[in-house]
């Protein structure tokens, strides 16, 4: 309860600012309309109308919530108009990309830690890969993969992977190098093989770093999947909803899709956090 | 472990001849060890004492094949340190207990046994035995954070004893513990040594600790790291803690202190 009050206070402040901003941004349109209709308009009327437009510049919170409610709870989830359906399309690509990105990231980190040539050469390329704007490279990935006959989930997942492997590489290199000189010397006194050292010392030591990376990777992965939906003119997915919304000026639809993306990301990151808490607690590292 | 040992190993478990080790640093070469000669007999308890930088830890690490000498020869059980390490001839206890937090005490002690391929039954048997040896029976399923610092260090000694190496190399194992715990652990270590007949090399910078524990005290001094005195202790094997107030004990302690002072006169 004690934690709830500050949280609710912050939420209330944000909602208040949002309503105020909706008035400010939408007022001009209300005034223009009223002027065209030769209608006098009072302050309370003005405020109410800014909060109930069909295509506002900034929809009010309750409009977004209503839209979210109508497109999730009140629609069959197999329907093309259900946001749950679109969220699942994006989420499936996100999860596939996240899994691939994590696997690639861990593999690269193991290589960097164990192979000297990779240690000296791979990291600059990994960093360079992240300096390229994803919006620039995403269409090319889609086009190239399409030319190779790959379409649907996989190209989107590839873009997710492209964004999500990076935090995993960085975190895991640090994590696999976390064991102290002493712990490594100790393994040597037991004449342990590299495989034994990896499984029994380096891998468990890296767990706190891995989980921190996975949280970032998951968020990046979702962004990747959404970006991957933009250049293809995809008909399904949160990215497609954003695109359709912007074509037709459906700001309420855009905002509800954005909120859905945020909810999905928060749920996924929260899930990782839960697994992290349980795992590290079991390992005596939390 | 019953390795075939050359005949000289009967008497000499560790033998160093004209040992030199120089580290190349940015400030020029550092002579960590210069012309070190030492014989350690089977069942000896040897303490290495000296100020920091005298090479005592480096010498221990050379025996353990964790550092390579620049010249000279070291034999452990009559073979090179590398061969001895691969034959798992010694257990090494570091300054910090270094227990894995994700493994129970039993799991930590099992770790070297798993690595060395002991079967499950033998693992359980050894864990039980060594826990009893360090008086930690009943703590097998506890986790390191549930134990005090002294108990953790005892668990790390148990881990070094688990695989039945007959040499125990200990690098200031009690350095981070307070005096009272330290006294208690010293007493326990002597009892353990008497029961197991191991050869122990023990690095310390505490004079009372060195004199109380050892049959042989090696006094070392820095720049270059070298041996300045080797004292064979006339104290009996049976040593209650109050032996430290006897004239014999004080006399040895005095000689150690003299040796340390002589070493310092060089710089």
pLDDT (0 to 100) of residue B5: 43
| Tokens coding B56 | 């005592």
Q: Does B223 touch chain A (CB under 8 A)?
A: no
Domain count, chain B: 1
pLDDT averaged over chain A?
91
The domain in which residue B253 lies consists of: 10-89+166-175+197-267
pLDDT (0 to 100) of residue B216: 93
| Tokens coding A49 | 């109308």
Interface test with A, best of B91, B98, B105, B155 (most A CBs within 10 A): B98
Q: Does A277 touch chain B (CB under 8 A)?
A: no
Of B130, B256, B140, B127, residue with least CA distance to B188:
B130
d(CA B155, CA B177): 14
Under the banding of pLDDT at 50, 70 and 90, the label for residue A77 is confident
B199-204/B45-49 β-pairing:
parallel
pLDDT (0 to 100) of residue B135: 87
Mean pLDDT of B89-101: 92
**Range with the poorest average pLDDT among B5-19, B40-54, B76-90:** B5-19
What is this structure's pTM?
A: 0.83
d(CA B152, CA B158): 10
Task: Please state the three-class secondary structure of B25-63 as a single string.
Answer: ECCEEEEEEEEEEEEEECCCEEEEECCCCCCHHHHHHHH
pLDDT at B8 over 60: no
pLDDT at B267 over 60: no
* Within a domain: B119: no
Q: What is the CATH number of the domain that holds B232?
A: 3.40.50.300
State the DSSP H helix or E strand holding residue B17, giving kind and residue range, or none if neither: strand B12-25
Interface test with B, best of A185, A190, A196, A206 (most B CBs within 10 A): A190
Nearest CA in chain A to B64: A189
pLDDT at A25 over 90: yes
Under the banding of pLDDT at 50, 70 and 90, the label for residue A45 is confident
pLDDT digits (tens, 9 = 90+) for B153-205: 999 999 998 988 889 999 999 888 888 888 888 988 998 899 888 999 999 98
* Within a domain: B107: no
pLDDT digits (tens, 9 = 90+) for A180-223: 999 999 999 999 999 999 999 999 999 999 999 999 999 999 99
d(CA A213, CA A169): 8
Q: Does A139 touch chain B (CB under 8 A)?
A: no
* Within a domain: B214: yes
**Cβ–Cβ < 8 Å for B111, A199:** no
**Count of A-B CB contacts under 8 Å:** 52
pLDDT at B1 over 60: no
* Within a domain: B263: yes
Mean pLDDT of B119-147: 92
d(CA A23, CA A51): 7
Mean pLDDT of A25-34: 90
Write down the domain spans for chain A: 4-58, 83-282
Rg (CA), chain A: 24
Tell me, what's the ipTM? 0.86
> Per CATH, which fold does A83-282 belong to?
MetI-like fold (1.10.3720)
pLDDT (0 to 100) of residue B264: 66
Q: Does A204 touch chain B (CB under 8 A)?
A: yes
* Within a domain: B40: yes
CB atoms inside a 10 Å sphere around CB B143: 18
* Within a domain: B70: yes
């Amino acid at each position: 309860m004690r934690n709830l009050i500050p949280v609710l206070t912050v939420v209330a402040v944000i909602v208040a600012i949002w309503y105020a901003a909706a008035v400010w941004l939408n007022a001009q349109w209300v005034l223009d309309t009223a002027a065209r209709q030769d209608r006098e308009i009072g302050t309370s009327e003005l405020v109410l109308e800014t909060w109930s437009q069909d295509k506002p510049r900034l929809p009010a919170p309750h409009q977004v919530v209503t839209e979210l409610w109508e497109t999730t709870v009140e629609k069959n989830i197999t329907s093309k108009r259900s946001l749950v359906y679109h969220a699942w399309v994006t989420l499936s690509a996100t999860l596939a990309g996240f899994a691939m990105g994590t696997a690639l990231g861990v593999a690269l980190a193991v290589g960097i830690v164990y192979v000297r040539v990779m240690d000296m050469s791979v990291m600059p390329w990994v960093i360079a890969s992240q300096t390229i704007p994803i919006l620039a490279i995403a269409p090319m990935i889609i086009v190239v993969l399409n030319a190779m006959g790959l379409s649907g989930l996989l190209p989107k997942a590839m873009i997710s992977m492209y964004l999500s492997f990076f935090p995993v590489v960085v975190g895991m290199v640090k994590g696999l190098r976390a064991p102290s000189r002493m712990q490594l010397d100790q393994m040597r006194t037991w004449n342990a093989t590299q495989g034994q050292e990896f499984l029994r010392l380096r891998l468990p030591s890296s767990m706190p770093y891995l989980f921190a990376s996975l949280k970032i990777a998951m968020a990046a992965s979702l962004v990747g999947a959404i970006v991957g939906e933009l250049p293809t003119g995809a008909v399904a997915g949160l990215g497609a909803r954003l695109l359709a919304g912007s074509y037709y000026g459906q700001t309420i639809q855009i905002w509800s899709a954005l909120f859905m993306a945020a909810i999905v990301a928060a749920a996924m990151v929260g899930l990782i956090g839960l697994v992290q808490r349980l795992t590290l607690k079991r390992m005596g590292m939390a | 472990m019953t390795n075939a040992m050359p005949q000289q190993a009967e008497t000499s478990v560790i033998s160093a001849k004209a040992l030199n080790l120089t580290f190349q640093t940015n400030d020029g070469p550092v002579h960590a060890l210069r012309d070190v000669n030492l014989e350690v007999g089977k069942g000896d308890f040897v303490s290495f004492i000296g100020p920091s930088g005298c090479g005592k830890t480096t010498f221990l690490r050379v025996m353990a094949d964790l550092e390579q000498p620049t010249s000279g020869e070291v034999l452990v059980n009559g073979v090179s340190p590398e061969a001895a390490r691969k034959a798992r001839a010694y257990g090494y206890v570091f300054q910090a207990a270094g227990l894995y937090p994700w493994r129970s005490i039993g799991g930590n002690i099992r770790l070297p046994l798993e690595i060395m391929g002991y079967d499950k039954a033998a693992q359980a048997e050894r864990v039980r035995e060594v826990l009893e040896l360090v008086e930690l029976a009943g703590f097998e399923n506890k986790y390191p954070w549930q134990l005090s610092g002294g108990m953790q260090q005892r668990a790390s000694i148990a881990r070094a004893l688990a695989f039945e190496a007959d040499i125990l190399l200990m690098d200031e194992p009690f350095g981070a513990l307070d005096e009272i715990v330290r006294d208690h652990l010293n007493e326990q270590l002597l009892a353990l040594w008497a029961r197991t007949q191991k050869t122990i090399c023990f690095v310390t910078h505490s004079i009372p600790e060195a004199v109380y524990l050892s049959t042989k005290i090696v006094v070392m001094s820095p720049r270059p790291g070298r041996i300045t005195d080797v004292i064979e202790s006339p104290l009996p094997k049976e040593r209650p803690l109050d032996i430290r107030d006897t004239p014999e004990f004080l006399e040895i302690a005095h000689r150690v202190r003299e040796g340390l002072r002589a070493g310092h006169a060089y710089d």
